[in-house]
Amino acid sequence: MPTTLIPNPVMQFFDANGNPLVGGKLFTYAAGTTTPQATFTDYNGATANTNPVILNSRGEAAVWCGANRYYMVLKDSDDVEIWTSDNVNGPNGPTLAVLAASNGATLIGYTPGDTGVATTVDARLQLLDGTSPTAGALDSATKASINTLRDATAVSGGTVGYVNPNIAARTITGATETSFEWTIVGIVDNYSAAGENVALYGQGNKRSTGPTWGIVAEARDFTQTANPTAGLVGLEVGIFANGTDTALNRVAIDVSVGKGVSGGTINTTSHGLRIGPTNGDGTQGQLTNGITLQQGNAVVGVQVSSSGTWGAQFNGTYTVGIDLSSATNSTSAIRIKDGENMAFDAGSAYRLRHSTSGSIGLTYSVSGADKVVITDTGSIILAETVVWTSAYSSTTANTGAAGAPPAQVVGYITINVNGTDRKIPYYAV
């Protein structure tokens, strides 16, 4: 095994005749100067020697040097100089100088606990200490200011439910603390007029069949208190600005989908935004409101501008599908485009529409055939026979008798049957 030379734990000095220098004095200065520089009584440098150091009856003293170099002067008890020596190092002086050099970390071995593979402190620090790019190498710098790597590609197994983070940061606040404690803060001060400048970015690269997340934000309430007075928010997104946004460039949450590789097939993503109980288990929790548009000046509460099979679809079981009974709509509660249909079955056979062309007015149709039209001028057009559900019957034919129509006609109702006007008399009740 490697060994080292033991340093002299106690220094002994002699006079010109080889006798112990009893009461001798050792003056210590910073190298090349006469500025006093302390030595110490023990290895940890906790207690400084007197300066000069006074030798005992055997001409001895415990003298431990610091990391810096010394200029030493030895005198006898009568202050007669015996010798001087400059640029004196302690036993570890050369070693400290080498380690303090720019490549010193490459000389220190290190075995990480996670991999067990021997390396150096320098190699390990390279994973943490990145580079700040210069203007000439802005796009070629591969390291961040802080770059960490947790390489588990050779690891197998593990326990479901355990989390092995690359970086774990935790803040514990005091019970009476009123200041804001934010565990991780990402801020980008963007002075650029181009590029994509992001304060916090999370990317999950799915390279196998296991589930992958880009970012997870989770809030847990360990107080188990119903109807809490303080908020618990899983994710908050705020937009703070001034003035209008006619170009529609301020977006609180932007959900975008695209191809994984250039030239590949189109990406079909099942949900742009999915809201529900954890793991789809209805026994875990419920939402009072799936989406709430809080009070404010929203020009449009919900806008659907995409093209597809359905603009909005409800598949669940509800007491009321859409409830507008508590809303105040100054013009229309529901507005649809002229000529479009409202359907009353899954196959859209029974429909109601209004049109300003063709059959002008409100039309009810069955399987594409118009049945009833209420025109904008007030006329009713029927495509089929009029059926009265309650027929009038008389027990006697005598005019004016009980149950018979009155003798005097009050007026007539004009109807058009197959293009010919007809009159139906009516009587006073």
**CB contact at 8 A, 93 and 64:** no
Question: Does 155 score more than 80 pLDDT?
Answer: yes
Residue 117: is its pLDDT beyond 90? no
> Which of 21-35, 230-244, 299-313, 338-352 is predicted least confidently?
299-313
pTM over 0.75: no
Say which range, 5-9, 77-81, 338-342, 375-379, has the weakest mean pLDDT. 5-9
Q: What are residue 97's phi and psi, to 5 degrees?
A: -65, -40
| Range 369-397 burial, b when 16+ CB lie within 10 A, else e | ebebbeeeeeeeeeeeeeeeeeeeeeeee
Greater model confidence, 131 or 46: 46
Confidence of residue 293 (pLDDT cuts 50, 70, 90): confident
Peptide bond connecting 52 to the previous residue in cis, omega within 30 degrees of 0:
yes
Provide the pLDDT for residue 149: 79
Domain assignments of the chain as residue spans, ordered by start: 11-100, 102-131, 337-387, 394-429
- Tell me the two tokens of residue 106: 């490459």
Confidence of residue 93 (pLDDT cuts 50, 70, 90): low
Residue 148's pLDDT is what? 78
Burial, 89: exposed, middle or buried (Cβ in 10 Å; 0-12, 13-18, 19+)?
Answer: middle
Q: How confident is the model at residue 268 (pLDDT cuts 50, 70, 90)?
A: very high
At 299, is the pLDDT very low, low, confident or very high (cuts 50, 70, 90)?
Answer: confident
| Separation in Å, CA 391 to CA 341, 385, 388, 394, 429 | 34, 15, 6, 10, 16
> What is the CATH class of 11-100?
mainly beta
Whether the pLDDT of residue 429 is over 70: the answer is no
Candidate from 32-36, 294-298, 362-366, 389-393 with smallest mean pLDDT: 389-393
pLDDT for position 140: 62
What confidence tier does 30 reach under pLDDT thresholds 50, 70, 90? very high
The count of other CB atoms within 10 Å of the CB of residue 143 is: 14
At 7 the pLDDT is 67
Contact indicator for 202, 215 with CB cutoff of 8 Å: yes
Q: How many angstroms separate the CA atoms of 150 and 97, rounded?
A: 33
- Cα–Cα distance measured from residue 280 to residue 286, given in angstroms and rounded to the nearest whole number: 10
Mean pLDDT of the 356-370 span: 90
